[in-house]
């Protein structure tokens, strides 16, 4: 397995490009974010956590369905950009945190992991999944969305991430597969 990608990797990416995946301009990303929010089935959440918020484009969308949103990213430049993007939303907070070591305390009704869990190796993935399970309140939801094509850099594929999540959290309450991404919402009892 490839080693886990840590904060330094992402700091270098954001140093070269303020939006390395074109989250702010991509039609693909916009459509994926539409599907991500639609997978929440119109629910409103008292407290939510977004893991790997990048520059905060999806965070803006999530803030509209949450009373309180904590968005975190390992890269300081990304967290700073997200904080600026969300500055008019007092119920949204952005922090620079590397997970699983600095996983925030819950409970959360919603945890969103979009395009982030495949950066983890086995140990970090297991620790992150355990933290999600611990901090997600009963009746809450884990929403995961990941790129499916294999890369030469990431320790896991998107499909591997979703298989591991299903093994831990059970069948998805909502699931969608496109050639590009896997989307699953796991509702915990």
Pick 5 or 184 by higher pLDDT: 184
Mean predicted confidence (pLDDT) in 132-159 = 94
DSSP letters, 154-186, are: -SS-HHHHHHHHHHHH-S-SEEEE-SSEEEEEE
Bridge partners (DSSP) listed for residue 182: 146, 177
For the entire predicted model, the pTM comes to 0.95
176 pLDDT more than 70: yes
Confidence band for 1, pLDDT divided at 50, 70 and 90: low
Query: Is the confidence at residue 31, as pLDDT, over 70?
Result: yes
Q: What is residue 5's predicted lDDT score, i.e. its pLDDT?
A: 87
φ/ψ region of 15 (left if φ > 0, alpha if ψ in -120 to 50, else beta) reads alpha
Give residue 153's pLDDT band: very low, low, confident or very high (50, 70, 90). confident
Average pLDDT value for residue range 13-33: 92
Q: Could you read off the pLDDT of 64-110 as tens digits, one per residue?
A: 999 999 999 999 999 999 999 999 999 999 999 999 999 999 999 99
Q: Yes or no: say if 115 and 122 are a contact pair by the CB < 8 Å rule.
A: no
Q: Which of helix, strand or coil describes residue 115?
A: coil
Query: Helices (H) and strands (E) in the chain — how many of each?
Result: 6, 7
Instruction: Please check whether residue 127 is in contact with residue 100, taking contact to mean a CB–CB distance below 8 angstroms.
Output: yes
Model pLDDT, residue 148: 95
Lowest mean pLDDT among 15-29, 37-51, 103-117: 15-29
pLDDT for residue 160 is more than 70: yes
- Measure the CA–CA gap between 27 and 158, rounded to whole angstroms: 20
Query: What rounded mean pLDDT belongs to the chain?
Result: 95
What is the pLDDT at residue 189?
Answer: 84
pLDDT value at position 3?
A: 82
- Top CATH class of 7-187 equals alpha beta
Q: In this model, does residue 45 exceed pLDDT 80?
A: yes
3-state SS assignment for residue 40: coil
- Give yes or no for a contact between 36 and 114, defined as CB atoms under 8 angstroms apart: yes
**What is the spatial distance between Cα 157 and Cα 155, in angstroms, rounded to a whole number?**
7
Name the 3-class secondary structure at 143.
strand
| Residue 124: C-alpha distances to residues 98, 127, 159 (Å) | 11, 5, 17
Question: Given this model, what pLDDT does residue 2 score?
Answer: 81
* DSSP for 68-114, written as a single string: EEEEEES-HHHHHHHHHHTTT-TTEEEEE--TTTTPPP--EEEEEEE
């Amino acid at each position: 397995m490839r080693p886990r990608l840590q904060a330094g990797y992402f700091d270098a990416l954001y140093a070269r490009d303020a939006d390395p995946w074109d989250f702010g301009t991509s039609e693909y990303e916009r459509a994926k974010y539409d599907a991500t929010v639609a997978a929440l089935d119109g629910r409103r959440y008292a407290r939510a956590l977004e893991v790997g918020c990048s520059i905060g484009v999806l965070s803006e969308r999530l803030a509209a369905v949450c009373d309180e949103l904590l968005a975190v990213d390992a890269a300081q430049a990304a967290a700073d950009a997200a904080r600026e993007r969300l500055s008019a939303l007092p119920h949204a907070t952005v922090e620079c945190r590397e997970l699983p070591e600095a996983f925030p305390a819950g409970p959360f009704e919603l945890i969103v992991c979009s395009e982030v869990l495949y950066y983890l190796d086995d140990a970090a993935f297991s620790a992150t999944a355990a933290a999600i399970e611990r901090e997600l309140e009963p009746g809450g939801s884990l929403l995961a969305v990941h790129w499916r094509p294999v890369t030469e850099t990431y320790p896991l594929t998107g499909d591997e991430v979703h298989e591991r999540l299903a093994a831990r959290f059970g069948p998805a309450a909502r699931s969608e597969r496109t050639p590009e991404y896997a989307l699953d919402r796991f509702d915990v009892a």
